[in-house]
Amino acid sequence: MTRQIGVFIFPDFQLLDAAGPISAFEIAERFVPGAYALKIIAAEPGRVASSSGAAMFAEPLSDEAFDTVVVAGGAGTRQAILDPATLAWVRAASARARRTASVCSGAFILAEAGLLDGRRATTHWQRSAEFARRYPKVALDPDRIYVRDGPAWTSAGITAGIDLSLALIAEDLGEEVSRATAQQLVVYHRRPGGQSQFSALIEMGGQAGRFAELLDWMRARLAEPLTVEQLADRAAMSPRHFARAFAAETGLTPAKAVERLRLETARERVESSSEPIDRVAQAAGFGDPERMRRAFLRAFGQPPQALRRAARA
C-alpha cells in the first residue's frame, strides 16, 4: 500500500521543516519500495520561496485524500494563519487524512484551523509563550520534541521534524525501517517524543526578557529550594502575580523552569565528568539520585548513567 504524504508549504516557510520530513520519507521508501508517495502543496502553486530564499515547487490545493498531511513552519506562518483558503484546506485535508502533523511553528496553522483544540501539542520553544496566549484551548507542552494526541502530531523546532517523521515511519513500517532510515540520515535513532528541547528552554525569555536576570540568579542557586515564594520575592512580586507573569513570559510554570534548569546542569555534569551521580544530584538541587533519575527519564528518556555511557562511547 502506498501512503500519500502531502507536505504543505507557504511563502517564507523554513526550508528544513519541509526538507527534513521529505528526506526521511524518501529514504524509508527506498527500504520499502512503494511505501510512500510525496507531494508538495501550497495555496499559491509553483515556485514557493523559503525564508532562506531557496525555493520549492508546489502543486495547487486539491481535494486529494492524503494518508498524512505535514504542515511546515517558519516565519511565514504569521501570514499563513490569516489566509482563509489555507485554513479551509487544512481543515478539509485533515478530515480526509489518517493523521495530520506539523513541524515547528506549523502548529500555529493547525491551531488556527481549530484542529488542536482540546489536544496536547508542542511547537518551537521560542514561540511557545505566544502560542499559549493565542490558543488557550490547546494544552501546550512546550518542552517536548514531538507530541502525539490522537491523529494530530506536532513537533518542536526544525530538526525535530525529522524525529517526528521517524516516529511516523516506525508506526507505518516498523522500528527496523525507522532505524535504518535514521542511520542513512546519520541522525540519532531516535529521540523519544518526551525528550525535552534541552538547553534552548533555559533561554526562554531571552537576554532582554523581564526574567532574564532572575533566570541567571536561579542557575547560580540550584541547590537551594527555589520555591515560588522565594522567586516571587526576588522578582518583587506577589507569588500569584509572579506565577502568572512568569508562565506568560516563558511558557513554563516556575516549578517546571526550576526543574529544566536543574536537568540542564545535571546533564552537563553527568556527561562531562566522572563526578559521582549522588553528588551531581545534590549540587543540581534534586536532593537524591533516585529523584534525579526519575526526572532524567521523563525529560531525556534515559537515566543518568546511560547518558554518561553514551557520552563516552
Active-site positions read: 104
Place of cell 482563509: 84
Q: Of 305, 311, 205, 306, nearest to 261 (Cα)?
A: 205
The amino acid at 136: P
The amino acid at 2: T
Q: Which residues pair with 152 in a beta bridge?
A: 100, 149
Provide CB contacts within 8 A for 302, sequence distance 6+.
Answer: 296, 310
Coil, helix or strand at residue 121: strand
Q: Which residues pair with 58 in a beta bridge?
A: 46
Here the cell at position 50 is 523559503
**263 and 295 Cβ atoms separated by less than 8 Å:** yes
Place of cell 507531494: 39
**262 and 295 Cβ atoms separated by less than 8 Å:** yes
Cα–Cα dist 189/183, whole Å: 7
> What phi, psi does 117 have (nearest 5°)?
-55, 130
> What phi, psi does 102 have (nearest 5°)?
-130, 150
Task: Please calculate the CA angle 243-142-247 and round it to the nearest 5 degrees.
Answer: 10
